[in-house]
Amino acid sequence: MAQCRIGLLTNYRFGVYLFSRNRLQKELDLPLADLDGEAFQRYLESIATHPLYLLLDLLGEEFRVEQLPHVSGRDRSEVYRRKLQQFFPTAS
């Protein structure tokens, strides 16, 4: 398997682990209070050539399953944008 990264988000921490050659190595482990958005964006841009799989371990969150129509290209982007706007109206 090629290199990949696994992000683990909990209610209190965010960590990123590199999986390569059947080994798991911690790259980043921060309390959420210390997570700087701009620095994190630069980090994501620096690892953009490898996939990042995100695991969520969140207490008290309500998750829902949504059925979306099979669309592609620009239509797909528009469906996603509308769904995100529906659930997060104050987000930009």
* Count of the separate structural domains present in the chain: 1
Mean pLDDT of 42-70: 84
Q: Three-state DSSP class for 17?
A: strand
Read off the pLDDT band of 24 (50, 70, 90): very high
Mean pLDDT of 48-70: 83
Q: Identify which of 90, 92, 91, 66 has the alpha carbon closest to the alpha carbon of residue 79.
A: 66
**Residue 8, class by beta-carbon neighbours within 10 Å (0-12 exposed, 13-18 middle, 19+ buried)?**
middle
Mean pLDDT of 65-90: 88
Pairing of strands 13-20, 52-57: unpaired
Q: How far is CA 25 from CA 10, 48, 58, 87, in A?
A: 18, 18, 22, 35
Residue span of the structural domain in which 73 resides: 4-87
Is residue 64 situated within a structural domain? yes
Is residue 92 situated within a structural domain? no
Taking only the tens place, the pLDDT of each residue in 10-23 is 999 999 999 988 89
pTM above 0.85, yes or no: no
Q: What is the pLDDT of residue 1?
A: 56
